Structure formats: structure tokens, C-alpha cells
Structure 1
């Protein structure tokens, strides 16, 4: 249960967000620009933080199912996967979107996982939280590398396993860039006579960072950063007198339980993150300029006048056939 101080802090943030919106100067725009070639860190959590993706005693079966869904979604949309790790109640997946298909990629991936997991657990309720997805972008190579490190070491950071390679759920830890792995169609969910393929392959694609390094050198750099991060977490755990949960306790996790923590509410889901405040602010200002152009074009469209939407407009271009500018602002 939230404390009085947490409720007051949430109310203060809510008031700040409302004031920011009133000072915007144009109608609120919920759409986000989607440009080809962007890199994203996708994060999505389960409803009420329930452990609906807990590996349990059949960790290999769940890992195969998630790998199958991830590989099929990536193949159908052209999205390139750089790292992915599925925790008990959320996942982190780092991708590049060459063809501006991030929206259908996420829709298919999350839909397949939700329906299949509900079928496996005998549920018929929502699996994913209704909170707006948090897909952040990083401006530099070093920060993009650390995003991969964060993804792969998440079970260690959470105090579940001592080493990232021990995580029993789905993870790309240990995959080399360019490595392809195959996942079989789960017979307990997909119809053998349906359209889903019998096997799906997923290739771990190297992100376009540190171009002076070859694939093996970049992999070695990533693994060195992972080891260093693991050691940092170990030192912090010893300092706080904490122990790792371990595989035996992990196997006993119940899907209908949840961590005893209170999630912060009414916060702004970040779209950009980075060590350089100037670079982040520049990205935010570009987004605001895009929103201004989008709002102006929408007002013209609703008034029945010719309107040209800014480059990066996705839904109205795909489903309403509006005219879109050729170049991004």
C-alpha cells in the first residue's frame, strides 16, 4: 500500500504534468514519430507486477515459446534484435528498426506472448500492464553498449541469480553477434495446420556501434562490461548483507504472486535517455517541433483543408492515407 508521502509525491507530479500540458500551446499529441533506422530499448511489464513470465519448473519450454514469438515477430517486420532478456514480470529487448515497423513488431510480439502464456496458465485476463510502453533511445555508442549490459545483467541486479548466464528464462546472454538459434512451434498453443511455421530462427544482429571493432571484438567488449557490472552488483549485495535467490527458489515462484514493492505512479515515461543533458534536450526539442507540426496538420485535416503531416507519422499514413512530408524535421 502506498504511504502518505508517496501519495503526496504522486499528486505533486500529476499537477506538474498538468501545468506542463497547459503551457504546451497546441492540442495534445499522443502520437510519436517513427523513423526508419532508429534504435530502441523496449521495456514492458506484466499487469500488477505479477510474475506471469516466471520460468518455473519448465523454464526451457517457456524460453522456447518466447524465442519462437520473438523470432517470428522479428522476421515478419524486419526488426533487428541485439539483446533480449525476459524476467518474471517484465522484459527488456534492444532492437534496431530499419523499416519503421516498431509498432507492428511490438503488437505482434506482445499479443502472441500474452495469448500463449494465458493459455498455458489457464487465465483469461490481461497479461501486460496498461501503462504506456517505455521505449528509450540513446545518443552515443557507450550508452547503447551499457543498455545491452543492463538488459543482460537484469537478473543479477534483481538479486535472482549470481551470474547472468545462470538465468533460466529466455535470454540472449552468450549469443554471439550473427549467431542464429532455432525455436520449435509450441504444440500446446499453435495449431499444426495453421499458418505459423514449424520452426522459427532468430539471428542476433550486431548494433551499429563501435564500427571500428569487428563482431568478435565488440562481443568481447560487451562481455567485459557485463562481467564488470556483475562484480559491481556483487560488491553492493555484500555491502547490504543480501543473498541471491538462486535457481531452486526461482523454480518455485508462483505466477500469481508479485514483488512487495510499490511502483511509482504518474511519472513521465522517458523517450530519450543519456549522460549528456544537452543531447537529450536536443532530442526532446525535435520531438516537440514534430508534435507542433503534427497538431497543425491535424487541425487542417479536421477542418477539411489540405494537410501535410510531418515525416515519421505512422498510424494516419498507414490507415488513413494522409500525405506525409518526405524528410524529418
Structure 2
């Protein structure tokens, strides 16, 4: 369902999403590099320096779901039960294209011709280091509660292309966005398709259902990429992590001191085991 359809007056929704994202990013130390919320899903690119991605997502999605249901007067589920799509990109170029994919998603979906026309929540146009303020929605949060009246979200530069300064990286990102948009335009013309446009998009109802059908019961590889060598490196990295985890678990069960590899989540949170520091 199009539960995040921006509608004719998207200001209320974009402020609510921005408030929830900013609050939880600050709470869990998450660095946000890009975020765009479509009518039925979102793309958010982050760095998780302290290993708090799981509670960050849980609290963000819970808060957004409860608030959206309250605003729409409904009581059903907001998020589907599908597995999350969390990806890690090993190269600077692939990380940059992830940002491009997120920011151009409304164009790829045939909704608007240019990404800047998307009326929903988007960080397109934010410069790295730019901070924006979001106000506490008075229709959902209790004024006497513990939620702050205002929260701020600063767009953090991702750790890619260190030879470029912030302005040069922003220019590189915007050029890649324009090129991706032009590629989509050419594809749309070849297929004889037209964009929905902002006017029709404003009439989209939250109760509408997506017309596309998700492909199911197919192989979902754990590692995928254009470079086979890179894929093999990632597979080797995961296998080494599993060996370290198994060795630490064996020591723990034997009653001996054990340090689990960085990335161990459940045992760190619920059993208080020692975990190695995250690599820079």
C-alpha cells in the first residue's frame, strides 16, 4: 500500500519522517548519507560506526509505523515481513552509485521526470555537512513526553573519494544523478512510457496498491557484484568471521575468556560478551 504517498500537501509527512529519522540517527550514532522515502518503501544510505544498525532500524520503523497509522486512522501493519535489503559496497564507485540509486528512485519508478520534483522526503540537494531542523509533530507526540521539541539532521559525507573535498564530491554525486536520470529518460522513450507527473502523484491515495508484482522464490545471493574477484574477497571475509566467531563461542562454552569478532550483535547486546573493536 502507498502508506507514504506524499499527496497534495506533503509538508506534514516529510516533517514527520525527517523528525523520526533525525531522532533515531542521533540516538544510535548513525551517520546518514542519503535518504529518500517512496510511497511504499524507503532507501537510506548510512554508516554504522558503533554497531547499532539493528536497534536503529527497529526504532525508526516502529516509530514511523505507529505515527503513520495514527495519522491515517488505521490499525494494520505498515511494513511487510520480507527480509531487509541491507547491502555493503566494497568500492567508492559502487558506494556513490548506491547514493545515486536512492536519490533517483522516483525517476526509475516513472513517477517524476527529475529527482528534484519528488514531493516526498528526500535529501537530494542537501550538501554534505548541511543541517536541517524538524519539529515534533503535535498530532502524535505528547508535549509533556520525552521527545524533543526540535531535532536536527546533518547529512554526513560518506568515506569515499578522499582525494575530493566536500564540494567536489557533491558535484560528482549531482553529475552522476543527472546522468542516471538521462539514462532512464532514454529507456522510457524506447519503451513508449510516460512519467506520472506531479499532478497525478498528488492524487495518489495511501490506500492504493502497487501494480508491479515482486518476483519470489528465486535465488537471492548473499554476495553479488560486477567483479568476481571482489565477490570472492567478500566471501572469504565472511568465512573468516564465522571461524573467529566459532572459536570464540567454543572458548565461552568452555568457561574461558573469549573475544568475539566485530559485528557480533545478539551476544553482545543480550549476553554482554566481549567484542573486538570495529575496524576503521
Q: Which TM-score tier does this pair reach, normalised by the shorter chain?
A: over 0.9
Residue segments in structure 2 that go unaligned for 5+ positions in a row? none
Counterparts of 2:7 and 2:250, CA distance in 1: 52
> Offset at 1:299?
6.3
User: Match for residue 225 of structure 1?
Assistant: 176
Going from structure 1 to structure 2, the CA distance change for 1:59 and 1:271 (only over 3 Å counts) comes to: farther
Q: How far apart are residue 121 of structure 1 and its match?
A: 1.2
How many pairs align? 278
2:132 to 163, 178, 181: 181
Aligned to 2:144: 193
1:239 equivalent in structure 2: 190
2:106 to 155, 168, 180: 155
Q: Does 2:5 match 1:54?
A: yes
Report the CA distance shift for 1:64/1:327 in structure 2 as closer, same or farther (over 3 A): closer
- What is the aligned partner in structure 2 of residue 3 from structure 1? none
Q: Which of 94, 105, 108 is the equivalent residue of 2:59?
A: 108
Question: Which one of the candidate residues 36, 41, 45 is aligned to 1:94?
Answer: 45
2:49 and 2:93 map into 1 onto residues whose CA distance is: 21
Look up the SS of the partner of 1:234 in the other structure.
helix
The alignment status of 1:126 with 2:57, answered yes or no, reads: no
Equivalent in the alignment of 2:237: 286
SS in 2 for 1:75: helix
Shift of 1:275: 2.5
Aligned to 1:44: none
Contact 1:79/1:102 (<8 A) preserved: yes
Residues 50-103 of structure 1 show CA distances to partners (whole Å, capped at 9, x for unaligned) of: 111111123111001000001101111111111000000110001111222111
Residue 89 of structure 2: aligned partner: 138
Structure-1-length-normalised TM-score:
0.79
What are the Cα deviations for residues 127-182 of structure 1, in whole angstroms up to 9, with x where unaligned?
Answer: 11111211101111111111111111000000000000000000001111111110
Aligned twin of 2:33: 82
2:223 touches 2:231 (CA, 8 Å); kept in 1? yes
Number of the residue aligned with 1:254: 205
Q: Does the 8 Å contact 1:137/1:273 carry over to 2?
A: no
Structure 1 residues not aligned, in runs of 5+: 1-49
Secondary structure at the residue paired with 1:82? strand
Q: Distance in 2 between matches of 1:298 and 1:256?
A: 48
Would the aligned equivalents of 2:261 and 2:276 in 1 still touch at CA under 8 Å? yes
For the residue of structure 2 that corresponds to 1:233, the secondary structure is: helix
Question: Hey, what's the Cα distance between the residues in 1 that align with 2:201 and 2:263?
Answer: 43
Q: CA deviation at 1:281?
A: 2.2
Shift of 1:298: 4.6
CA-CA distance at 1:311 after TM superposition: 3.0
The answer on whether the counterparts of 1:185 and 1:199 sit within 8 Å (CA) in structure 2 is yes
Residue 272 of structure 2: aligned partner: 321
CA offsets 1:264-295 (integer angstroms, 9 cap, x no match): 22345555543222112211222133234435
Q: What is the CA deviation profile of residues 18-61 of structure 1, one whole-angstrom value per residue up to 9, with x for unaligned ones?
A: xxxxxxxxxxxxxxxxxxxxxxxxxxxxxxxx111111123111
Q: Give CA-to-partner distance per residue, 1:194-221, whole Å, 9 cap, x none.
A: 1111111101111111111111111111
Q: Residue by residue, what CA displacement relative to the aligned partner does 1:88-130 show, whole Å, maximum 9, x if unpaired?
A: 0110001111222111211111111111111111121221111
